[in-house]
Amino acid sequence: MTVMEQRGVYRPTPPPAWQLRTDPAPLLPDAEPYRVLGTEAAGKADEELLGRLYAQLVRGRRYNTQATALTKQGRLAVYPSSTGQEACEVAAALVLQEQDWLFPSYRDTLAAVARGLDPVQALTLLRGDWHTGYDPREHRIAPLCTPLATQLPHAVGLAHAARLKGDDVVALAMVGDGGTSEGDFHEALNFAAVWQAPVVFLVQNNGFAISVPLDKQTAAPSLAHKAVGYGMPGRLVDGNDAAAVHEVLSEAVARAREGGGPTLVEAVTYRMEAHTNADDATRYRGDAEVEAWRAHDPILLLERELTERGLLDEDRTRAARDDAEAMAADLRERMNQDADLDPMDLFSHVYAEQTTQLREQAAQLRAELEASEENGAENADGEENAR
């Protein structure tokens, strides 16, 4: 018989045997986002790493501006820019080892490129040319995920399976603040914590889920606080501080690799541009807000630190910009070439073995294509005879 079944018995508190399963104190995030640049901790930062981060940030910013321009030119169907969020994107790529896996969202093409993916392949999905545009297994980068947060359970499943096999693999899953409102987010964190899977969840809190501000999505003190409810550490970091994001993610990845389980990292950043080219951001935020964040630009913060320490001069700045321009020129040239597409590719790599429905659809499309070719040939003959 339970306490509730005992008539006339009411206990306002749990029975004496009840106790907390996990001490929440070590799991709680800091009260303020962790920072390195502009603090005493910056003096201990590795100079080579800071230089590498700077070069990647400059390259990433140029990649974003070029991809945005390609969208306006009609070469991309859509592009969700990560301008202003480059520190998160670059750090996420650089903290992983070759055998690790990156699980990006649709806004994280830059993270994939920083991990070594060809920029054109990273944009192929957004161009509408292919299902993904690259081999996920070859690059250890999961397909760019357009549905919100569905990549998170996949990351947990892969990491858990790798651990069961004894493979030294960590999965880093990226998601936006809007994705934390999805059921997949809950399921992924719950399973990851219960299984102690080697996963790091990086939430890029850029202020808006399309047009919905964060305070309309959650009443939590921070998104990092959500980690405590699942029994994993929550870390709060300045998402525009490249050195800080790299340090926090490095610690989380190392913890996961050593068997310490998952970590939820909230990087506080800002989406400088619209959600996509189909969005009018002026309808839900003002110019003053955007300008305030421009003063906290990730490239500006790192440039200031490097300059003050004598690690950045005109030659190094020019070299970083020249490298970025070369990348952008190559991307622009290759993206301006029309792709040679086969409509039958629609049915490739959907299932390991095609279903009956797919075979029927493929046969129907093949017949339509053959009929179109025959009509085209007949029309060409008719025009030739007319001449």
Q: Count CA atoms within 13 Å of residue 89 on its CB side.
A: 31
Determine if residue 231 is left, alpha or beta; phi over 0 gives left, psi from -120 to 50 gives alpha, anything else beta: left
Cα gap 337→358, rounded to integer Å: 30
Cα gap 156→202, rounded to integer Å: 13
**Which residues are marked as active site?**
271, 275, 284
Tell me how crowded residue 51 is: count the other CB atoms within 10 A of its CB.
16
The helix-helix angle for 47-72 and 86-94 (nearest 10°) equals 120
Cα gap 165→159, rounded to integer Å: 10
Task: Give all strands of the β-sheet with 171-176 in edge-to-edge order.
Answer: 101-103, 171-176, 199-205, 263-268, 234-238
Contact criterion met (CB below 8 Å) for 148 and 172: no
The helix-helix angle for 47-72 and 298-308 (nearest 10°) equals 150
Give how far Cα 249 sits from Cα of 88, 173, 352, 372, Å.
Answer: 10, 11, 35, 54
Cα gap 91→171, rounded to integer Å: 14
